[in-house]
């Protein structure tokens, strides 16, 4: 039995999630403890700015890379203190890093020009925790012609697949992604589009709140058909189910402002929030309908699992498919992504592949991640 720590900070830029888990000889994880640490507001603002092209990017990237590495180390050290564990008790840290640019293979990016970039200096993280770090998980998949994302479906298959039962797992973080498990060892997966990112962006701007707690603001509003149609006309939604991924490069405040500016009149803020929730729900539902078979069960993880209005809307759209959180499968919705990178670190140290070509479109299975010694 070995202990690993997984770190995830997603597209929402709301903070750092760390899990401490044990993995047995077969690599099955068991969560021992969890710790969340919010980003300092200035770091959050600067990371958000770096996600879009701007001046002096290399200088900003280098500085934020070190800063974020220190924040990751602070969160890990707080988790160690909480659990009374020492660095030598931990085999390794698996750290996804913060994505600041994701340009996967697409109609506009030839595979030879595709790239993905995550920051959060693994050297700094290893130095300040005294624990080896596995990081840089996406780029090897990109090098093999894949999307580099999503990567969590490999864990979803290992933990949540059930023989004879067609299931899907949807992670609703900043972006949303689906894993389809057919019950016979086959798996598909892809990003469906925005998860919480546009909802969070709007509620921060219009209501000065970090997020729409339980979807209460959206529940007070009504969908604006014209706005929803404009948002659904985004080219990303025209792709079929299959290897595809997205990020803030496609869905950000600018995209939302463009759509709002095209409306004939200024809409009610609650109605905009309701429309953004509908966008997330509909694009998840539409993606499910494009799969080879509609799943009988859908399990939700990520922050979206706590948006009551969103969960209810999904239940309506995909009825009679069962909708529940991954809690019912034994893994807390906020732990799944961080556990995935602890698990991928374990696989890296055991020279086991970490990608699913049926999900990412890579030419072959490969070992993911680079090791940084303590």
pLDDT in the model for residue 194: 96
Q: Is 14 annotated as a binding residue?
A: yes
For residue 331, pLDDT over 90 is answered with yes
- Is residue 139 within 8 A of residue 96, CB to CB? The reply is no
Q: Is 16 annotated as a binding residue?
A: yes
Q: Note whether 287 and 157 are same-domain residues.
A: yes
Q: Note whether 145 and 206 are same-domain residues.
A: no
For residue 348, pLDDT over 80 is answered with yes
- pLDDT digits 0-9 by tens, 286-303: 999 999 999 999 999 999
Q: Is 245 annotated as a binding residue?
A: no
Separation between Cα atoms, residue 132 and residue 374, nearest integer Å: 5
Q: Note whether 218 and 365 are same-domain residues.
A: no
- pLDDT digits 0-9 by tens, 101-114: 999 988 777 888 99
Q: Note whether 197 and 76 are same-domain residues.
A: no
Q: Note whether 166 and 274 are same-domain residues.
A: yes
Q: Note whether 197 and 280 are same-domain residues.
A: yes
Q: Is 142 annotated as a binding residue?
A: no
Torsion of CA 23, 24, 28, 29, to 10 degrees: -30
Report the 3 state secondary structure along 254-311. Answer: HHHHHHHHCCCCCCCHHHHHHHHHHHHHHHHHHHHHCCCCCCCEEEEECHHHHCHHHH
Three-class DSSP category at 191: strand
Q: Note whether 96 and 226 are same-domain residues.
A: no
pLDDT in the model for residue 109: 73
The model carries a pTM of 0.95
- Is residue 171 within 8 A of residue 152, CB to CB? The reply is yes
Q: Note whether 198 and 305 are same-domain residues.
A: yes
Q: Note whether 184 and 311 are same-domain residues.
A: yes
For residue 241, pLDDT over 70 is answered with no
Q: How much is the mean pLDDT over the chain?
A: 95
Question: What's the gap between Cα 14 and its chain centre?
Answer: 12
For residue 315, pLDDT over 80 is answered with yes
**What domain range includes position 318?**
153-329
Q: Note whether 247 and 315 are same-domain residues.
A: yes
What would the mean pLDDT of 95-101 be, rounded to a whole number?
A: 96
User: CB 320: neighbour CB atoms within 10 A?
Assistant: 7
Residue 46, H or E segment: helix 41-50
The 8-class DSSP code of residue 339 comes to H
Q: Note whether 104 and 251 are same-domain residues.
A: no
Q: Note whether 124 and 178 are same-domain residues.
A: no
Name the percent of the chain lying above pLDDT 70: 99
Residue 253: pLDDT band with limits 50, 70, 90: confident
Prior bond to 131 cis, omega within 30? no
Q: Is 185 annotated as a binding residue?
A: no
Name the percent of the chain lying above pLDDT 90: 89
Widest CA span in the chain: 62
- pLDDT digits 0-9 by tens, 128-147: 999 999 999 999 999 999 99
What is the number of structural domains in the chain?
A: 2
What would the mean pLDDT of 1-19 be, rounded to a whole number?
A: 93
CATH of the domain at 26: 3.30.420.40
The 8-class DSSP code of residue 234 comes to S
Q: Is 54 annotated as a binding residue?
A: no
pLDDT in the model for residue 240: 64
- Is residue 279 within 8 A of residue 172, CB to CB? The reply is no
Q: Is 17 annotated as a binding residue?
A: yes
- Is residue 302 within 8 A of residue 152, CB to CB? The reply is no
- pLDDT digits 0-9 by tens, 185-240: 889 999 999 999 999 999 999 999 999 999 999 999 999 999 999 999 999 998 76
């Amino acid at each position: 039995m070995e202990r690993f720590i997984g770190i995830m900070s997603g597209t929402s830029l709301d903070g750092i999630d760390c899990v401490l888990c044990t993995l047995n000889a077969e690599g099955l994880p068991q969560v021992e403890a969890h710790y969340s640490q919010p980003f300092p507001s200035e770091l959050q603002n600067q990371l958000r700015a770096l996600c879009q092209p701007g001046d002096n990017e290399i200088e900003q990237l280098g500085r934020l890379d070190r800063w974020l590495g220190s924040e990751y180390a602070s969160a890990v050290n707080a988790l160690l203190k909480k659990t009374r564990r020492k660095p030598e008790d931990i085999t390794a840290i698996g750290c996804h890093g913060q994505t600041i640019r994701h340009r996967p293979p697409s109609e506009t990016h030839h595979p030879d020009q595709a790239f993905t970039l995550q920051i959060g200096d693994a050297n700094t993280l290893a130095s300040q925790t005294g624990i080896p770090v596995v990081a840089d998980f996406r780029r090897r998949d990109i090098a093999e012609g894949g999307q580099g994302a999503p990567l969590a479906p490999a864990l979803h298959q290992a933990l949540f697949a059930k023989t004879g039962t067609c299931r899907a797992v949807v992670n609703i973080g900043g972006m949303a992604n689906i894993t389809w498990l057919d019950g016979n060892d086959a798996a598909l997966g892809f990003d469906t589009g925005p998860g919480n990112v546009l909802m969070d962006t709007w509620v921060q701007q219009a209501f000065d709140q970090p997020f729409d707690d339980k979807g209460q603001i959206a529940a007070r509003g009504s969908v604006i058909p014209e706005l929803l149609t404009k948002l659904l006309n985004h080219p990303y939604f025209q792709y079929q189910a299959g290897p595809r991924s997205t990020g803030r490069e496609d869905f950000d405040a600018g995209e939302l402002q463009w759509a709002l500016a095209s409306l004939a009149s200024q809409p009610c803020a609650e109605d905009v929030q309701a429309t953004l929730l509908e966008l997330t729900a509909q694009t998840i539902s539409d993606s499910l309908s494009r799969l080879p078979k509609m799943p009988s069960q859908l399990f939700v993880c990520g922050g979206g699992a706590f948006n009551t209005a969103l969960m209810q809307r999904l239940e309506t759209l995909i009825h009679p498919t069962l909708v529940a959180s991954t809690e019912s499968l034994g893994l807390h919705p906020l732990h799944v992504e961080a556990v995935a990178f602890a698990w991928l670190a374990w696989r890296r140290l055991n020279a086991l592949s970490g990608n699913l070509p049926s999900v990412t479109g890579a030419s072959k299975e490969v070992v993911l991640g680079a090791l940084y010694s303590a």
